[in-house]
Structure 1
Amino acid sequence: MGIGLVDPILPAIADSLQASPVETELLFTSYLLVTGLAMLVTSWISSRIGAKRTLLLGLGLIVVFALLCAVSGSVDAVIGFRAGWGLGNALFISTALATIVGAAVGRSGAAIVLYEAALGLGIAIGPLLGGLLGEVSWRGPFFGVVVLMAIGFLAVLILVRDEGGAREPMPLSAPIRALRRPALALLAVAALFYNIGFFVLLAFSPFPLGFGAMGIGLTFFGWGAALAITSVWAAPALMRRMSRIAVILITLPLLAVDLLAAGLTVANPAGLVTCIVIGGLLLGVMNTVLTEAVMESTDLPRAVASSAYSAVRFLGGAVAPPAAAALAHAFGDTVPYLFAATSVLIAVLTVAAGHRALAGADETGGDVPDDGEAILIGDAA
């Protein structure tokens, strides 16, 4: 929820703090750049202090830096504090995924479906809550993140059990060495260019939409709901019928077409909203399939694979928002979406060119996602 909570207030931050769109988009860059770089050390940290302590450290840092963002008086200060927030985010995200997958019985497919379902629901609800709080003040969503992450901190403290037995410390170089594996490296590079498309749609679109905080929140609630639906149901259904790489090679070109359509309809709010929601449907499929492909593509420890992959992919997210804003300023609002579509096509070419190296990930998903869906429905009931 914390990821999307800030999205509806980007134009409000620009107005309130007299910041340009490029400066405002640096809120994403500082956050994602530090998140990506810090991913290289998260497995080293978690292997020494344990997953639970790493999760608590990450959530605690997010609480502190989100609170500092909320009380800041300049865009430069918010950009700086978002960097600290990114460190907490890195500690939490890679450790959370590895912990959830490690706790699963059997293969990782069911756990990944549950992880992506929770992520999708949070991404859907976050912008809606951010829009409501943003109508009061641009500071409101930051205070909202403080409350949400404090709840997460207490939940981990109470509900997550400490690992038993001795831990095997990971060398600091483990994620770097992991990227020498061709399958992991190819998926990470593809995800880097895919993330450019993802974050142009997420971080740049609030500006050309021209809506207030609530309008942006409702738009990205629809986007996040679409993402959640396809994460849980469409992605597993597709993986039961075809290989993961085939799903990726079908979905990515459709995403490129959607981004192209967004660029062509950017002056029409209804058209742009439609493209954003359709984009959510495609992103939900991609998030689940890519995550499962990474986890199944090598025999590396899951924490190491997750850290290495995430370190590369978040760099794409760091580049995209300010690049999109700069392109819009120089050439108009259509060009950022063309940039995003081109990046997604590069991701397609990367996967297609390296498909032989991706044999470990290129398997049908079997019936494991059915189990994940059954668990999800059972928990909801």
Structure 2
Amino acid sequence: MLRLRSTAATLALASFVALGPLATDMYLPALPAMATALNATPAQAQLTLSVYMIAIALAQLVYGPLSDRFGRKPPLLVGLVLFTLASLACALAQSIEAVIAFRFLQALGGSAGPVLGRAAVRDVHGPLEAARILSYLGAATALAPALAPIGGGYLLAAFGWPSVFIFLAAYGLAATALLWLALPEPLAPAQRQSIHLHSIVRNYRFLLRHREFVGYMLACAFTFAGLFAFLSGAAFVLIEFLGISAQHFGYYFTLAVGGYITGTLFAGRLSRRLGINRLLLIGGVIATLGGALMAALALAQIFTALAVMLPMMLYMIGVGIVLPQSTAGAIGPFPQIAGSASALLGMVQMSIAAAAGILVGHLHSGTPLAMAAIIALMGTAGLASFFGLVWLPGRALQECSVKEV
């Protein structure tokens, strides 16, 4: 068994957290081909992404309390097995409706990875160190969305779109073996909580009444929703509208991932010096500027790949700063209910992301405009949530304390 504070254990947790971006990003290049093969519209193909997010949102509300009661490892094992089986079913599906249904099941299993991986980091490293570890974890897991579209594009060209889901099934099987054989349980028995419905509802109600938790949660959720708006529309904009090949789609996608890695490394190096809130403000401003720039270029009818990807790279620098800091800010103060806090954060994050993705699918007219406008809106909403619920009230309290002294 690995030591939980070892680098190897942190990388193992990263492989579970990466399950989410891997399952969404790897088949992005295959979306147009899958839609053609199954006689589906772009909106129906995009629904396979949004349904995945909806299922993740619902499942996390269950995984969180279960993991607070029984530990992180048993629910994660069940989730990984379900993810593996559902991935195989997606590969064998003969209609878009079947893919949508199996994607729902795939997400029910796969959502265990991110929510329990984040909670395990909090279990092992504590609230302050968790922000730094989550930043580096974000950089490590960014390898999944960086490499996944490239690998997905080549799998599509060589073996067709079902091969992407076969690869995901193999990844799920390997992750299951890693968890079963190499990782001990991170949650101490003394920290486990009741699973009674009353306790679950009470914990969620307590969190929703906590102003700073809500502020961090919404900052994380809206900023992530801008990323998901891009994921929902990028393949149709870059491949169908701008004529980029499916094999080369992943290389353009690495610009966005490079931005994300830059943001996470920046946050990881400066988290102790600047603190969570200053970093969140910086990241929120950067993401808002990136979204606004993309929307402005689209309104000016400047339709090139770089006009989409360079602003998205800027937006993703902001995402790389905001996501780990807002996650640590939301979960850190609640060690006894870290699983429930992580689950509620994930549920709201994925629900808003699914709504943004559905909007992109329904408003998409071929050009980047709808996608860019929604990205700009989500970035602005994330910054406003943090600024109005965390930053300004915190400054007011500091001023009151100074005046009292």
**Partner of residue 204 from structure 1, selected from 233, 249, 263:** 233
Contact 2:229 2:357 in 1 (8 A): yes
How many Å separate the matches in 2 of 1:3 and 1:18?
21
SS of residue matched to 2:316? helix
1:245 has 2:277 as partner: yes
Summarize the alignment of residues 270-281 of structure 1 with structure 2, pairs less than 5 Å apart.
270-281=306-317
Indicate the residue corresponding to 1:369 in structure 2: none
Write the letter of the residue equivalent to 1:355.
V
Write the letter of the residue equivalent to 1:67.
L
1:223 has 2:230 as partner: no
How far has the Cα of 1:68 moved from its partner?
Answer: 0.8
How far has the Cα of 1:300 moved from its partner?
Answer: 5.0
Indicate the residue corresponding to 2:139 in structure 1: 117
How far has the Cα of 1:324 moved from its partner?
Answer: 0.8
Indicate the residue corresponding to 1:328 in structure 2: 364
Indicate how the Cα distance of structure 1 residues 113 and 148 shifts in structure 2: closer, same or farther if over 3 A, else same.
Answer: same
Contact 2:60 2:343 in 1 (8 A): yes
How many Å separate the matches in 1 of 2:228 and 2:164?
19
1:91 has 2:107 as partner: no
Contact 2:136 2:268 in 1 (8 A): no
How many Å separate the matches in 1 of 2:193 and 2:227?
36
How far has the Cα of 1:359 moved from its partner?
Answer: 4.5
How many Å separate the matches in 1 of 2:283 and 2:135?
18
Unaligned runs of 5+ in 1: 364-381
Write the letter of the residue equivalent to 1:132.
Y
Summarize the alignment of residues 1-381 of structure 1 with structure 2, pairs less than 5 Å apart.
1-104=22-125, 107-136=129-158, 137-162=160-185, 165=189, 167-170=192-195, 171-173=199-201, 174-210=203-239, 211-231=244-264, 233-263=265-295, 264-265=297-298, 267-298=303-334, 301-329=337-365, 332-355=367-390, 359=394
How far has the Cα of 1:214 moved from its partner?
Answer: 1.4
Number of aligned positions between the proteins:
360
Indicate how the Cα distance of structure 1 residues 251 and 50 shifts in structure 2: closer, same or farther if over 3 A, else same.
Answer: closer
Unaligned runs of 5+ in 2: 1-21, 399-405
Indicate how the Cα distance of structure 1 residues 138 and 349 shifts in structure 2: closer, same or farther if over 3 A, else same.
Answer: same
How far has the Cα of 1:321 moved from its partner?
Answer: 1.5
How far has the Cα of 1:332 moved from its partner?
Answer: 4.7
How far has the Cα of 1:164 moved from its partner?
Answer: 5.9
TM-score (normalizing by structure 2)? 0.81
Indicate the residue corresponding to 2:16 in structure 1: none
How far has the Cα of 1:297 moved from its partner?
Answer: 4.6
How many Å separate the matches in 2 of 1:348 and 1:114?
22
Q: Which moved more, 1:90-99 or 1:244-253?
A: 244-253
Indicate the residue corresponding to 2:7 in structure 1: none
Contact 2:227 2:316 in 1 (8 A): no
TM-score (normalizing by structure 1)? 0.86
Indicate the residue corresponding to 2:14 in structure 1: none
How many Å separate the matches in 2 of 1:341 and 1:325?
16
Indicate how the Cα distance of structure 1 residues 212 and 246 shifts in structure 2: closer, same or farther if over 3 A, else same.
Answer: same
Q: Which moved more, 1:252-261 or 1:25-34?
A: 252-261
How many Å separate the matches in 1 of 2:343 and 2:173?
24
Cα shift readout 1:23-51 (whole Å, capped 9, x = no counterpart):
11111111111111221121222234431
How many Å separate the matches in 2 of 1:168 and 1:325?
41
Contact 2:35 2:42 in 1 (8 A): yes
Write the letter of the residue equivalent to 1:274.
L
How many Å separate the matches in 2 of 1:292 and 1:47?
17
Q: Which moved more, 1:166-175 or 1:60-69?
A: 166-175
Indicate how the Cα distance of structure 1 residues 176 and 216 shifts in structure 2: closer, same or farther if over 3 A, else same.
Answer: farther
How many Å separate the matches in 2 of 1:101 and 1:297?
10
Contact 2:226 2:379 in 1 (8 A): yes
Cα shift readout 1:56-90 (whole Å, capped 9, x = no counterpart):
11111111111111111111111111111111122
How far has the Cα of 1:356 moved from its partner?
Answer: 5.5
Indicate how the Cα distance of structure 1 residues 262 and 357 shifts in structure 2: closer, same or farther if over 3 A, else same.
Answer: closer
Q: Which moved more, 1:250-259 or 1:67-76?
A: 250-259
SS of residue matched to 2:161? coil
Cα shift readout 1:234-253 (whole Å, capped 9, x = no counterpart):
11234344342232223223
Deviation >6 Å, runs of 4+: none
SS of residue matched to 2:40? coil
SS of residue matched to 1:169? coil
Identity level (%): 21
How many Å separate the matches in 1 of 2:328 and 2:378?
22
How far has the Cα of 1:312 moved from its partner?
Answer: 0.8
Indicate how the Cα distance of structure 1 residues 268 and 30 shifts in structure 2: closer, same or farther if over 3 A, else same.
Answer: same
Indicate how the Cα distance of structure 1 residues 298 and 128 shifts in structure 2: closer, same or farther if over 3 A, else same.
Answer: same
